[in-house]
Amino acid sequence: MSWPTRGTVLLGIVLGCVGFGPVAAQEAATSVAPSATSTQQTVLPVLVFDRSRILSDSKLGQAFEAEIQQTRDALVQENNDIYAALEVEEAEISALRPTLSEEAFVQKADAFDQKVTSVRAAQDRKANDIQALYNSGLEDVEQKMNAALTSVAREVRAIVVFERQQVYLMSGAIDVSTEIIRRLDAQFAVDAALADAPVTPDDETSDGSAAVE
């Protein structure tokens, strides 16, 4: 499944990073600018990221894509099964035509047409639900991506962040896509570990729900 193309997701993110002090600059991960020494401040006024690469190569993006694709595949299979059954039913009604009066046949045909219309509407609603799930999930992925971009931009005191497809010529040193993927993967691993962690009695309330600290 290809990711949708957008013009500039973060074109012109003005972060107000110019005022960040030397601590933030020194914390600029050497992974962002490996050539910088520990005594140097890493300052990159302009950053570039490859949105499509981050979405397709990060574990977060891959998990999201796999979940949506699995849901879509299930609906496609369901549609195939339903419409195959409808074709059989239609053939059975057609085979009965010689044995039915005109009125009886018309009634059966009309009832079948109404059934087909109802089924199609129901399946269309399911498709729309999947699209809504996709849009919501993509928004969540992009929020996490934007948070990582903002963090990196602040660390290197960047003023503006461009999407890669909006840049004609650039130095590879200002492309932070690899670093964003690394950070997203790290957070994804943490979130996955928390989700898989067993719930102990101390973690639950008397009604069995998770306790809120």
Q: Where are the domains of the chain?
A: 22-58+66-194
- What is residue 3's predicted lDDT score, i.e. its pLDDT? 53
Of 148 and 46, the one with more pLDDT: 148
* The two three-digit tokens of residue 26, written as one number: 């020194």
- What is residue 10's predicted lDDT score, i.e. its pLDDT? 38
* The two three-digit tokens of residue 174, written as one number: 């200002």
| Distance of alpha carbon 53 from the chain centroid | 13
Give the separation between CA 90 and CA 86, rounded to whole angstroms: 6
Give the separation between CA 193 and CA 202, rounded to whole angstroms: 18
pTM, rounded to two decimals: 0.67
108 confidence band (pLDDT: 50, 70, 90) = very high
> Which whole number is the average pLDDT over 176-198?
90
pLDDT tens digits for 110-143? 999 999 999 999 999 999 999 999 999 999 999 9
Specify the residue for token string 């401040």. Answer: 41
* The two three-digit tokens of residue 42, written as one number: 């890493």
